[in-house]
Amino acid sequence: MGAAAINVDTINQLTGGRLGTHDVPCPLCGPYKRAPKNQQRRVMRIYRIETGFAGYHCARCGEKGAALDRNGPRPDPSKLERAHAEAAERDRAHKAERLNKTRRLWSIRMPAAGTVAVGRNYRGWYIVMSLDSNGGNP
């Protein structure tokens, strides 16, 4: 979250100047993906309810917010409320899905002791040959 780099100009580019709901590649996390397919994956949903106002939410990096053209007309409050509710629901569903995935992975965890544990950091793959007796599991 925080200072998002998404302004009305960016929204304009991503939506091709059109109003409505658009699923587009995320300009925030997309460029950091190695595979071109993932760079172009349409993970960001934009709710463009006025020319000068749009809400957005990325299902991958979780970035969300709104872009407002301060010189433009004020957005319609009822449209604003609907877009906000839809974005909040999408965010909730996204978080629930992540949590389920985490729980699923945790439920099938195995002790790493006596096995070769493979991990990955910013330099690439690495192998840990010995871990403590319970492999870090409680």
Task: Write out the residues near Zn ion by the rule CB under 5 A.
Answer: 26, 28-29, 58, 60-61
d(CA 131, CA 115): 9
The answer to whether 56 touches 65, Cβ cutoff 8 Å, is: yes
H helices, E strands: number in the chain: 3, 6
Provide, rounded to whole angstroms, the least separation between the CB of residue 101 and Zn ion: 17
Q: What's the token pair of residue 121?
A: 């950091």
* Residue closer to Zn ion (CB basis): 8 or 59: 59
Locus of tokens 């195995």: 110
Min dist. Cβ of residue 6 to Zn ion (A):
10
DSSP 107-123: HT----TTS-EEEEETT
For the CB of residue 96, give the shortest distance to Zn ion in the complex, in Å.
18
CB of 55 to Zn ion, least distance (A): 14
26 vs 87 by CB, closer to Zn ion: 26
Q: What is the CA radius of gyration of the chain?
A: 20
Select 61 or 131, whichever has its Cβ closest to Zn ion. Answer: 61
Residue with smaller CB distance to Zn ion, 27 or 52: 27
